[in-house]
Amino acid sequence: MINTVLYIIVIGQILFSLLAILRAYSGPTVLDRVVAMNVITTNVVIILLIFAFIDNSYYYIDVAFVFVLGSFIGTLCILKLLREGHII
Amino acid sequence: MVYEYIAIFFLFGGFFFLVVGVLGLIRLPDVYTRMHALGKCDTLGTGMVLIGLMLLVRDVTNITKLILIMAMIITINPVVTHLIAKTAYNRGTPMVEGSYVINDYVASQRRRRKSQVDSKLSQEGGEKLK
């Protein structure tokens, strides 16, 4: 029963990530795309954690950890580039 | 068991909030309103899904890692939202029609400068500014 619930949530997350990709494709400004990619990153982290439970292979949790940190630094660099024109 | 039912409640609650956030991203008309939808719904939904997974895992090491990931997402998501809003405001991104900005920072600076000039003039015996 619990596996069915988790599969339903994973499939829903994938479908709504596709909707967010639609917004990232057709966003009028560049900041819309930043927001949409942020949402997709969060969804990927949730999918990774649920797969770690379904597949009973818990090293995916470390992968999700690194993914969160990398997405944060990436978003920070994009915003600094947009505000100041250079990163370093 | 009881744990599984509580976990299913938390998982579906978090899924509901994530879905509402993405629908706000699709439907709302503006950068600021889209951010307003996502900054709250994403944080709450992720937190609820992770609490549900913590009830399912039942292992001390993995629960500690999940708590760490939840704390990181809860702190990182509002910070990124604030930075995106600040960048959008500094770049002059257009808002939807009918909305307006009250910039309290500039107004308070102007008021303070005026009161300083007033006190200086009153010390020197001059007239007050209007």
A4, A14, A16, A18: best mutation site toward chain B, by most B Cβ within 10 Å?
Answer: A16
pLDDT in tens, B107-126: 778 888 888 888 877 777 65
Contacts with A72 from chain B: Cβ below 8 Å: 76, 80
Q: Is residue B1 helix, strand or coil?
A: coil
Contacts with B46 from chain A: Cβ below 8 Å: 42, 45-46
| pLDDT at residue B125, rounded to an integer | 66
| pLDDT at residue B104, rounded to an integer | 77
d(CA B3, CA A61) in angstroms, rounded, equals 21
Contact A35 B25 (CB under 8 A): yes
pTM: 0.82
Q: How many CB atoms lie within 10 A of CB B66?
A: 23
Helices (H) and strands (E) in chain B, counts: 4, 0
Determine the angle formed by the axes of helices B31-57 and A2-26, rounding to 10 degrees. Answer: 160
Contact A65 B80 (CB under 8 A): no
B18, B48, B59: best mutation site toward chain A, by most A Cβ within 10 Å?
Answer: B18
Confidence of residue B128 (pLDDT cuts 50, 70, 90): low
pLDDT in tens, B23-78: 998 998 888 888 888 888 999 999 999 999 999 888 899 899 999 999 999 999 99
What was the ipTM of the complex prediction?
0.88
